[in-house]
């Protein structure tokens, strides 16, 4: 089984010399055997073909996912657990570790082994899948770890654009022409945009982590319901305000927000291994109050989201493979135009209690790569607690400023939930 990488996957893959890795850490309380972990990982590969795929290049240097008859196991690395924050150190190590994708799968497993508590990490190349897919195979891994005989089914994998875009759209002359014209215009425009000769010096990468407890998380969700805005919009507003307070006129007043393609394309199932994403940009009006901003931003988010068309977007991108080199160069060498990427995975629907162990927490994923500004904030909610991972690089956002932005976000949330207590 094999398929060509789509445009977005090729962009994330790059030329193989720079990592673009995502990490999902989680904490388990219980006693585990390495053979049980290996078995669970093997079952994951049995269900998902692309978890046992390597990447090869054809005579035109086009990359393909290729599943060999005899697959290679997911590599497991075991380290001794010394403290509560070992997972952060291992996350940073995994960001920097290349996947030799012609020789090993695009997924690794790290076991930070303790006596009663273990931290575990899935590390994967971002071209393999997105956070939604990763949460699906995390759920399956825990299911099998708890019950080695559990049935998790077999994925019917996506083999190309034809498995995502309905045939009546994909073969429609008008839609094909529209996608081709947009693709050509975009490719020409990208060629004409001036970029620097050198990419920004990234310098040291960092990870800042924090949580809201159950009480504060519940209050935040209730507040958003009362204001008729989503948690995502509220947090975007808090992030934008924090960047403006810390960076002043040097802030861009723009946050990029990934939108799960599964909301629009029913062909992509929750457990599909797939990396394609949609994006909107959110901004604030600094001349009005925070609460007034929320409603305007919510209207803007809904308006922009309603205009997203995953099918045409994919068709446009697939018509522009010859522009990939210029597009990648623009992302690497062009000036940053947004403050950060903000991604909210929402409530993670994975059980907390298992027969032989407890899933104490899932830390929000982190991701970092070579395509421009690395500043990214990811949040998720597990077992009633909202969790944040804030990733950045000194060359784009100094660590001291990132800490100040974190503090401003927390302060903004507290002020909105209980304005009297922070006076």
Cα pseudo-dihedral 390, 394, 400, 402, rounded to 10: -30
* pLDDT digits 0-9 by tens, 370-401: 999 999 999 999 999 999 999 999 999 999 99
For residues 155 and 49, the answer to whether their CB atoms sit within 8 Å is yes
Collapsing DSSP states into helix, strand and coil, what is residue 153? coil
- Is residue 408's pLDDT more than 60? yes
If one compares 335 and 302, the residue with the highest pLDDT of the two is 302
**For the residues 32-49, what does the mean pLDDT come to?**
97
3-state SS class at 165 = coil
Contacts with 119 (C-beta within 8 Å, 6 or more apart), sequence order? 25, 26, 27, 28, 81, 86, 87, 90, 112
Q: Cα separation of 406 and 404, whole Å?
A: 5
pLDDT of residue 423: 44
Whether residue 339 is contained in a domain is answered as: no
Q: Is residue 422 scored above 60 in pLDDT? A: no
Angle at 170 between CA 169 and CA 171, to 5 degrees: 95
Only one residue has tokens 């000194």, namely 394
129-138: average pLDDT: 93
The secondary element (H helix, E strand) that includes residue 411 is: helix 399-417
Task: Collect all residues with Cβ–Cβ distance below 8 Å to 78 and sequence separation of at least 6.
Answer: 34, 110, 111, 113
CB-based burial of residue 49 (10 Å sphere; 0-12 exposed, 13-18 middle, 19+ buried)? buried
Residue 419: pLDDT band (50, 70, 90) is low
DSSP secondary structure letter of residue 250: G
DSSP 43-88: HHHHH-GGGGEEEEE-TT--EEEEE-SSPPPPPEEEEE--STTHHH
CA angle (54, 58, 63) in 5-degree steps: 50
What token pair was written down for 261? Answer: 């393609």
User: What contacts 24+ positions apart, CB below 8 Å, involve 66-72?
Assistant: 66/1, 66/2, 67/1, 67/2, 71/45, 71/105, 72/103, 72/104, 72/105
Q: What is the CATH number of the domain that holds 139?
A: 3.30.559.10
Q: Is 70 exceeded by the pLDDT of residue 298?
A: yes
Cα atoms found within 13 Å of the Cα of residue 40, Cβ hemisphere only: 21
pLDDT of residue 294 exceeding 80, the answer is yes
In the predicted model, what is the mean pLDDT of residues 84-95?
98
132-to-16, 26, 45, 50, 166 alpha-carbon distances in Å: 24, 15, 17, 15, 22
pLDDT for residue 187 is more than 90: no
Choice among 196-200, 211-215, 354-358 with the minimum mean pLDDT = 196-200
- Distance between start and end Cα atoms, the chain: 62
Q: Nearest 5 degrees, angle CA 11-CA 371-CA 12?
A: 25
CA distances (Å), origin 423, targets 69, 102, 109, 298: 65, 58, 46, 28
Confidence tier at 332 by pLDDT (50, 70, 90): confident
Give me the number of domains the chain comprises: 1
Strand order across the beta sheet in which 255-259 lies: 205-212, 385-393, 376-382, 340-347, 255-259, 278-282
> Tens digits of per-residue pLDDT, 160-179?
999 999 999 999 999 999 99
Cβ(258)–Cβ(277) below 8 Å: yes
Boundaries of domain holding 30:
2-146
Measured CA to CA in angstroms, residue 420 lies from 220, 411, 414, 415, 417 at distances of 16, 13, 10, 8, 9
Q: Is residue 109 part of a domain?
A: yes
Query: CA-based diameter of the chain, in Å?
Result: 67
What percent of the chain lies above the pLDDT cut of 90?
A: 85
Q: What is the mean pLDDT of residues 40-52?
A: 96
| Residue 196 in this model has a pLDDT that exceeds 80 | no
210 is a domain residue: no
Mean pLDDT of 169-196: 89
For residue 68, being part of any structural domain is answered with yes
Q: Map tokens 């899933």 to a residue.
A: 359
- Cα pseudo-dihedral 198, 106, 389, 208, rounded to 10: -60
Average pLDDT of the segment spanning 152-164: 95
pLDDT of res. 420: 47
Does 62 map to a domain?
yes
Give the torsion sign (CA, 216, 221, 226, 232): positive
């Amino acid at each position: 089984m094999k398929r060509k990488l789509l445009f977005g996957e090729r962009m994330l893959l790059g030329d193989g010399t720079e990592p673009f890795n995502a990490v999902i850490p989680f904490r388990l309380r219980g006693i585990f055997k390495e053979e049980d972990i290996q078995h669970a990982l093997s079952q994951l590969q049995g269900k998902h073909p692309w978890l046992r795929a390597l990447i090869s290049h054809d005579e035109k240097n086009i990359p393909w996912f290729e599943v060999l008859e005899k697959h290679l196991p997911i590599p497991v690395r075991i380290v001794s657990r010394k403290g509560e924050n070992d997972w952060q150190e291992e996350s940073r190590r995994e960001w920097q570790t290349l996947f030799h994708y012609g020789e090993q799968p695009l997924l690794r497993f790290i076991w930070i082994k303790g006596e009663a508590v273990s931290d575990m990490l899935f590390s994967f190349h971002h071209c393999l899948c997105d956070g939604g897919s990763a949460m699906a195979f995390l759920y399956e891994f825990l299911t099998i770890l708890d019950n080695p005989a559990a049935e998790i089914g077999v994925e019917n994998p996506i083999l190309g654009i034809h498995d995502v875009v309905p045939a009546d759209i994909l073969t429609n002359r008008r839609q094909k022409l529209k996608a081709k014209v947009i693709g050509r215009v975009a490719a020409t425009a990208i060629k004409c945009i001036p970029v620097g000769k050198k990419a920004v010096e990234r310098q040291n990468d960092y990870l800042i982590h924090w949580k809201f407890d159950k009480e504060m998380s519940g209050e935040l969700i209730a507040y958003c319901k009362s204001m008729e805005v989503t948690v995502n919009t509220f947090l975007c507003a808090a992030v934008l305000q924090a960047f403006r307070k810390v960076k002043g006129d040097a802030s861009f007043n723009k946050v990029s927000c990934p939108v799960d393609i599964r909301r629009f394309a029913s062909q992509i199932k929750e457990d599909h291994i797939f990396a394609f994403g949609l994006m909107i940009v959110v901004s604030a009006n600094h001349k009005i109050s925070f609460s007034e901003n929320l409603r305007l931003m919510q209207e803007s988010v809904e308006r922009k989201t309603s205009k997203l068309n995953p099918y045409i977007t994919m068709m446009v991108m697939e018509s522009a493979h010859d522009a990939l080199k210029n597009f990648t160069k623009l992302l690497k060498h062009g000036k940053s135009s947004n403050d950060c990427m903000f991604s909210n995975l929402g409530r993670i629907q994975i059980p907390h209690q298992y027969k032989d162990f407890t899933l104490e927490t899932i830390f929000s994923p982190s991701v970092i790569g070579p395509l421009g500004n690395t500043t990214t904030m990811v949040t998720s909610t597990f077992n009633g607690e909202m969790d944040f991972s804030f990733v950045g690089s000194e060359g784009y956002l100094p660590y001291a400023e990132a800490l100040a932005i974190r503090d401003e976000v927390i302060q903004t949330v507290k002020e909105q939930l209980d304005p009297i207590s922070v006076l």
